[in-house]
Amino acid sequence: MKHTEQKEIWVFVDGRNERHFTLSLNVLAKARELAASVSGTTVALLMGSTLGTARGKRGASFPASAAVKRCVSGGADYVHLFDNPLLVVARTDVYAPVIADAVESGGPMLVLFALTDFGRDLAARTARLCNAGLIADCVDLAYREGRVVASCPSWGGEILAKITYTEGYNATGFATVQAHGITPSIAPGTPGTVVTRPLADITVPRKAKLISSALDAGEHKKLEEADVVVVGGAGAGSAEGFAMVRTLASALGGEVG
């Protein structure tokens, strides 16, 4: 992997649905904060097709052009739209080589991914293809004394470790970022340029086949997204006692922990 002096921070934008798209925009806000500290720029990476659609809230579709506008309004100075119909179906084994090739030619300072199951898988695959360093599960990122420093929970969350790339490492760094605690950017990117990157040949591995995909029913929120969490344990005494916890959570519009 080539060394880089580019002060660009790239963010993979997950367009599978509204929830993942929003998490990606939160990471974009963190990228904008980092870019400001190094006089750099932010770049949003979108996978899809100018002729196709991305997946939106509750399965509704929205055009790639709408996703591009939201990226710019969310702080992307540039938006790179990788254009091929085969990219509309989200697969980490397909996306990773595409991003890796772009990193090899573009040499950004950092590539960030929202901390989701898909983001973890994609970041690891892409970093390996680039033979690059990956800092996983960050809750914060900062630029200090000429290097990127990540704050990452360790030992079951009992301590907060400070992690950086090795001394003298000046190639592209990768990181997965916990997006829930980040405030979205209200300042649009400048100049907000869209770069369409047509891809003539996309390799889809034959040994893995997507059978189906569907959104969660959405009746319950993930604990990290809930405004109210009602926690119960052995003190409830029995299954009947724990049912009171569920009843309270339902009354408060919360989730059970």
CA atoms within 13 A on the CB side of 63: 5
Q: What pLDDT is stored for residue 33 in this prediction?
A: 93
Axis crossing angle, helix 64-73 with helix 18-37, rounded to the nearest 10? 40
Residue 180 CB partners (closer than 8 Å, separation 6+): 23, 26, 224, 225
Q: What pLDDT is stored for residue 78 in this prediction?
A: 96
pTM across the whole model: 0.81
Q: What pLDDT is stored for residue 218 in this prediction?
A: 53
Segment-wise mean pLDDT, segments of 10 residues, the chain, 257 residues:
73 90 94 93 90 45 78 95 89 95 94 95 96 92 88 82 85 92 88 92 82 64 70 71 70 69
Q: What pLDDT is stored for residue 120 in this prediction?
A: 96
Give the span between the Cα atoms of 257 and 247, in whole angstroms. Answer: 13
